[in-house]
Amino acid sequence: MTTPFKPKALPLLIATLALAVSGCSGGGGSPATSITGVTLEGTAAKGIIKNGKVVAEELSSAGIALRTVGSAITKVDGSYEIAVANGYLGGPIQVTISSDTTTEMKCDIPAISGCGPRTDDITDTNSTVDFSEWYKPGDLTMTALVAEAANGDKINANITPYTDLAARRAKLNGTVDKTAVYNANSEVSNLLGGIDILRTKPLDITDPIAAKNGTSTGRAYAAFVAAIASLANASSGKPDLNGALLTLSTSFADGKILGDDDSSEIFSLQDLIDAAEDTFKRTGFDDTAGVIAALQKEATAAGYGFFNPARSTTADMPTLTKVKTFVGDVRTWGTVISAEMKAKGDAFDQQTSLASDAADMSLNLLISPALKAALDAIMFNAKSTNPGSDLSGYGIPGFTGTISKSNGVITITNGVIDGVTVNMTASVPVNGTTASSFTIGITSATFRSAAADADIKKGTVVLNLASPYNINYTELDAGTASIPDISGASIDLDISLTQKQNSTGGALSEQVTFAGALSTTLTNPIKDAAGDYTWITPSTLTLGGKISSAGHSMEATFTANITNASTFTPVGETLSNPSFVLEGSGANQWLDATVGLNFGLQLAGLPKASINITGDRTGLKDGTAMITIAYGTRQIVVNGTVMNGVTTGAMEITNQDGVKMTIIPGADKTGTLTFNGTAYGTIKELSNGLVKITYADGTFETL
């Protein structure tokens, strides 16, 4: 597959990473005169909302509406735009969407029952509000809070259940100033793994094209927005959305949320994760942004205790200070963090390298032979009508223990071979079974030895056939059985290995665990002229691994979603090119994919560092890419667009506070530093090769 991101502005980015930041200056207090030229824009989504009434009000420090500063009606895509009235004096702005008899909302619950029975006057072919159908939500109100605005600002203010949660959170202590708003929005953003709840556009998850063409973060945000409706009380026939918003606020009342719980009265982090994950599965997308995986770790760590997301330490800084701190963060990512992590990282690398060499030996000499012996015994048992329960009678030298069978499930209990103890349960088709789908594989298995332990939590293959097929092991062994046509398949593998000894048999100072998982759904198998299968397309793919030892861990996950898997046709072999060619420029000859690659490094005593790289392919050599680098609660995001294999247009770098660095590639690279669309600094490459950053207060830096 063509690499989707080759930034031509990389030299400037590298130079920026080396920047030594000078002292920061702060901003002023609240203005006493009218602020002009401010624009609010965004999307209202709890399901996309059209014909919703949006009202913008300036609030007092007590959270009381002082004046209405603008209004709008949402369009069919949920978007709105408000030109803020000149009477606005610079305080926090509350943006509220409410419904009336003309307001409609898209059902974003992908379950079979959708959003429940239809009770409105919209014409429908059945009596149910199905996924992606419009319905009238009745009384619905959601809000978002904007901390402040300056002259000429163009502010993204999306309105979702999570901005509503942040608004309620900001009002709890009775003082609604810009600090309270900034901190609440930051806190709830970190509840969602760093998604900027105010500035990130929630995509229409019910529209495959809109979801595909949006960002990976926007898809994740949409899935978590849909989760609220999925969790809402629907005992009255349709989701009680206002009730769900209140429940969400109650569940996060102290700025923390239970990792998991057994109550239906509140939402836990696990509840949100499960509902968002279900939305992804039912809509055919994967979370390439890695948000669900990251939050699952937090939920698992919290258990039945609390997850307490920390706000960004820079959230309530004066604007110019935020801008200068952002530039410092860009430098820090390339220098300070690297140096801080190097010593511990080198020690971890040395430890895992020693364990890796030993693990190779354990796999080759212990685990693999034991696994092969166990699988041979299982297949022998499956084919035999009266195989017996004593493994020593199965003709496998040195293999002792017991084995049993029940309805195609075969279990090895306390099998021992070459010093390895094996316990395994596997599922195989029963001889003579006729079906259109067969599950083959390991349900669970443990291998224990003095040198290493291994666990297989899952190792299954599901084959889906074009028509019913009869399993006849005698004919299969003889090679006389017909080969069925495959319509699709899925593979799930989850395995871990803990190395306890080094390659010479001595004990490791710290045990090292290697863990990996593979999950994929395959479709559209392709045959050649001879009738042999040459290709099958993965519609979804998740591949991950983790190494951990003594409080340190390193992990990586790759996810992919192929939206044209059912129609993709590889180029294949040609007379002029006999080697197999996967992709071409013709119709359905390139993989229409969204992919994500996540790296995480956790060293004991340091904040977790992570990198997420996502790509959305729009053509054979076209696409977009986003790189997210996080360290603790700080974050840097780099965006780029590729046309015909070359990065085009401006490259954008943003952070968790919404500060943006825009770099325009060219002979002499230029750029700007902005917040809410207003420039607070300029970037220019000088004739001597240095780069100059000039700030709005007249200070500057060169590199």
pLDDT tens per residue, range 386-408: 788 999 999 899 999 999 988 88
Count CB neighbours of 604 within 10 A: 11
Strand, helix or coil for residue 255: coil
Task: Say if residues 590 and 560 touch (Cβ distance below 8 Å).
Answer: no
Query: What pairs with residue 143 in β-bridges?
Result: 96
**pLDDT tops 80 at residue 84:** yes
What letter would DSSP give residue 365?
Answer: I
Is the distance from CB of 453 to CB of 514 less than 8 angstroms?
no
Q: What is the pLDDT of residue 247?
A: 95
Report pLDDT for 331.
Answer: 72
CA 87 to CA 93: how far, in whole Å? 12
Quick one: pLDDT at residue 213? 77
Q: Position 62: which residue type?
A: A
For every residue of 462-485, DSSP letters joined together read EEEEEEEEE--HHHHHHT-SPPPP
Give residue 31's pLDDT band: very low, low, confident or very high (50, 70, 90): very low
> What global pTM score does this model have?
0.72
pLDDT tens column, 566-617: 888 887 655 555 566 677 777 778 888 887 777 676 666 656 667 777 777 7
Q: How many helices and strands, by DSSP H and E, does the chain display?
A: 12, 31
Average pLDDT over residues 50-76: 96
* Average pLDDT value for residue range 311-323: 92
Average pLDDT for 249-266 = 93
Query: Taking a C-beta distance cutoff of 8 angstroms, is the pair 644, 621 a contact?
Result: yes
Q: How far is the C-alpha of 341 from the C-alpha of 529, rounded, in Å? A: 55
Please give the pLDDT value at position 574.
53
Quick one: pLDDT at residue 174?
Answer: 87
Cα dihedral sign, 413-416-421-426? negative
Q: Measure the CA–CA gap between 414 and 421, rounded to whole angstroms.
A: 6
Q: What pLDDT is recorded for position 384?
A: 81
> Hey, what's the torsion of the CAs at 96, 100, 104, 106, to 10 degrees?
50
HEC string of 91-126? CCEEEEEECCCCCEEECCCCCCCCCCECCCCCCCCC
Q: Are 703 and 30 in contact (CB under 8 A)?
A: no
Q: Check residue 605 and give its pLDDT.
A: 62
Measure Cα distances from 675 to 519, 660, 681 in Å.
41, 6, 10
Burial of 470 (0-12, 13-18, 19+ CB in 10 A): middle
H/E stretch holding 356: helix 336-362
What does residue 101 show for φ and ψ, rounded to 5 degrees?
-70, -15
User: For residue 67, what pLDDT is reported?
Assistant: 95
How far is it, in rounded angstroms, from Cα 240 to Cα 15? 53
Virtual torsion, Cα 490, 293, 194, 267, nearest 10 deg? 100
pLDDT in tens, 347-376: 545 555 655 666 667 777 888 899 889 988
Q: What pLDDT, on the 0 to 100 scale, is given for residue 20?
A: 27
365 phi, psi to nearest 5 deg: -100, -20
Per mean pLDDT, which range of 93-107, 287-301, 595-609 is the poorest? Answer: 595-609
% pLDDT > 70, the chain: 84
pLDDT tens digits for range 644-690:
666 666 778 888 899 988 887 766 778 899 999 999 999 888 888 77
Cβ-based neighbour number of residue 321 at 10 Å? 14
Q: How far is CA 10 from CA 7, 183, 665, in A?
A: 6, 33, 9
- Counting every residue written for the chain, the total comes to 703
Kindly tell me the sign of the dihedral angle through the C-alpha atoms of 602, 607, 608, 613: negative
Say if residue 242's pLDDT is above 80.
yes
